[in-house]
Amino acid sequence: MSLPPPARPASASSSSPSMFEATTTELEPPFNAAGSNAWDVDRPVGPFAEASPVRRKNGRLQDTPLQLVVFGLSDHHADLALEQVKRTLRQMDAVEGGLEFEDLVISPNDRSSKSKCVGVRVECGSSGWLKDIDLQRALDRVRQHLVDHGREAYWVSSTGLDRRNVGVFTFEKKDPNKPISITEYEAVDFAQDICSSLDHYVVDAVAHGFDKKAKKDQAPRCVVVTMQRADCMDSIQRAVAERMKTDAGKALDYDVTFARTRTMIPVSTPATIVGLNREHVDGALLLKELRFWRDHYNSEFREAQDILSFRPQLVPGSLLGHAVVVLSSVGLAQYIAGQESVSGCPYELAVVANRNELRSSVALAKEEQVRQASERRALLEGVQEIRGSIGGLLSNIGDRLSPVSDLMYYFKVFGKDVIQNLRLEFQQVRHECEYDRRITTESVRWNARGTEVEAMRREMRLLDKLIADSGPNDPMLKERSERLELLRNEEDKALDDLKDLQSGIAALTRQRSIRNQLVDHTGLGLLQPVQSHSQPSTATPASFAAGASAD
């Protein structure tokens, strides 16, 4: 359904914000006691005006924010995660004026992924949109049903990939004159250690800014984590702050902070719009402009929609320099998002602004135009360059075909391959040294734990002999039996630890064995594969390894 924009007042087209005059329309009851129409104005034309009030409240289907997203699923395979949500929704009771399971479309949050998904999206299908019901209220019942059955369900924050479960660990140096000593692997380990200590599962962790070629004045080093759940951000933020207050945290030469991704505004209700980059605009002007379009909407369509509070005692909220406004209906939100604004770029639905990572659609369109123009210029320059080089190539084709020329060409390419392969080999050595360090550390822990198991077994054998030699009236019999039982329990726990350590060592060994493939652009097979470097020894003490297998 289209929303025809009203005629703009003359003052609204002025570039000066102070010239904008907002008016407040007093709404009269649309029908009198006799049932006749009490409005003297003509009904606006167009399908949006002819629609029922509840359909106007639902707004348009295109880029609709009337969608839900579910996080915290125990399985990450797409089919299994979808089935979990479907199984929960099939238990939903039918309610008059509500949605049934057949009216819902359930899909992965990341539509580009074919195998795994973090989060499931729930939205109305065509049958749901054809119903003359309040879809926001009906979908909120669906959301509450999911929450009541232990699912972590929210209104979507983006029509694209919902990044509500994405957080950022930022690493900044304490002393501006000293570099940060932390590496990419250590930063990722730090992030995963914090999350695992809180029993929060990390789906993915990607480090940025740790490349040695990065300039010192670039953005700080960070690790972007994608969590299984979206409700763990506050607890992670507190845990990081507490970790940095400890003696170990104070001893580090860098500070660590954690926050949600700053390219997304959390959405708590679908009828949310965002005025991007409004930090330079007075809040009173923003409120006047919003009230003007609210009154115009109510006057045209005979509604009584309003601007709701985003936070207590705050109508338009400000977040990162963006004006965030919560309205009473999606129809009003889409209506205001379709109007021009004197305070900046047009308002946008929050789900659209988050999809564009808080960049306005106008700015994105301009960037696309500049990109296309640049590509056209590059294409024309390439054609001209090709035309110029063809003449030179034709004149030198005889020389290029000569054996000496071919030999020089292959020698040049071979030299480049040698240099590139040396770089790859140095990278491989650094990679293996890092994993050798980690494997050695785990092996030392493994051996130490194994020594403890051997000591426990020696003590257990001694206790078995003492118990066997003791009579039934021996006062030490009970104490020795209890000690023997305690040692057996500790032995079982130690053996489990050994198995976990052995699995970790095996995984690190497999990761260490990954090798860079050498390049050979000559096509002559001059560079043969080199022998793999020696693998670190992960042999285990036979004494307690045999005992572990026997147990």
Is residue 371 helix, strand or coil? helix
Rounded Cα distance, 542 and 519, in Å: 43
- Give the mean pLDDT of the chain: 79
Position 198 pLDDT exceeds 80? yes
DSSP string, 375-426: HHHHHHHHHHHHHHHHHHHHHTHHHHTSHHHHHHHHHHHHHHHHHHHHHHHH
Q: How sure is the predictor about 404, in pLDDT bands with cuts at 50, 70 and 90?
A: low
Rounded Cα distance, 437 and 427, in Å: 16
Position 106 pLDDT exceeds 90? yes
* Domain spans, the chain: 10-59+266-355, 67-155, 166-260, 361-395, 414-550
350-354, 360-364, 482-486 — which one is most confidently predicted on average?
350-354
* Domain 67-155, CATH among 2.60.120, 3.30.10, 3.30.70, 1.10.3470: 3.30.70
Rounded Cα distance, 286 and 321, in Å: 13
Which tokens in the block code for residue 384? 């001209």
> Which comes out higher in pLDDT, residue 255 or 364?
255
Burial state string for 529-539 with b = 16 or more CB within 10 A and e = fewer than 16: eeeeeeebeee
Q: How sure is the predictor about 491, in pLDDT bands with cuts at 50, 70 and 90?
A: confident
Per-residue pLDDT at 45: 45
Rounded Cα distance, 20 and 95, in Å: 46
Q: Which residues, 6+ apart, have CB-to-CB distance to 174 below 8 Å?
A: 252, 253, 254, 255
The mean pLDDT of 498-510, rounded to a whole number, is: 88
What percentage of the chain exceeds 90 in pLDDT?
Answer: 30
Position 99 pLDDT exceeds 70? yes
Which tokens in the block code for residue 270? 């679908």
The mean pLDDT of 391-407, rounded to a whole number, is: 67
Phi then psi for residue 213, to 5 deg, are -80, -10
Is residue 365 helix, strand or coil? helix
- Distances in Å between the Cα of 526 and the Cα atoms of 84, 203, 204, 295 are 55, 42, 40, 78
166-260 matches 67-155 in CATH topology: yes
CA 176 to mean position of chain CA atoms = 30
Rounded Cα distance, 144 and 23, in Å: 38
Q: Percent helix, strand and coil across the chain, each rounded to 5?
A: 50, 15, 40
Rounded Cα distance, 350 and 267, in Å: 7
Q: How sure is the predictor about 478, in pLDDT bands with cuts at 50, 70 and 90?
A: confident
Rounded Cα distance, 549 and 540, in Å: 12
Q: Which residue has the tokens 């002025």?
A: 14
Residues 219-257 have pLDDT tens digits of 578 999 999 999 999 999 999 999 999 998 888 888 999
Rounded Cα distance, 103 and 303, in Å: 27
Per-residue pLDDT at 4: 40
Burial state string for 292-313 with b = 16 or more CB within 10 A and e = fewer than 16: bbbbbbbbbbbbebebeebeee
Which tokens in the block code for residue 508? 């690190």
The mean pLDDT of 259-278, rounded to a whole number, is: 89
CB of 147 closer than 8 Å to CB of 69: no
- Distances in Å between the Cα of 492 and the Cα atoms of 484, 527, 547, 548 are 13, 52, 11, 9
CB of 350 closer than 8 Å to CB of 274: yes
CATH topology of domain 166-260: Alpha-Beta Plaits (3.30.70)
Residues in the chain: 551
For the beta carbon of residue 440, count every other beta carbon within 10 angstroms: 15
Cα–Cα–Cα angle for 101, 105, 111, rounded to 5 degrees? 150
Position 472 pLDDT exceeds 70? yes
Longest dimension (CA), the chain: 111
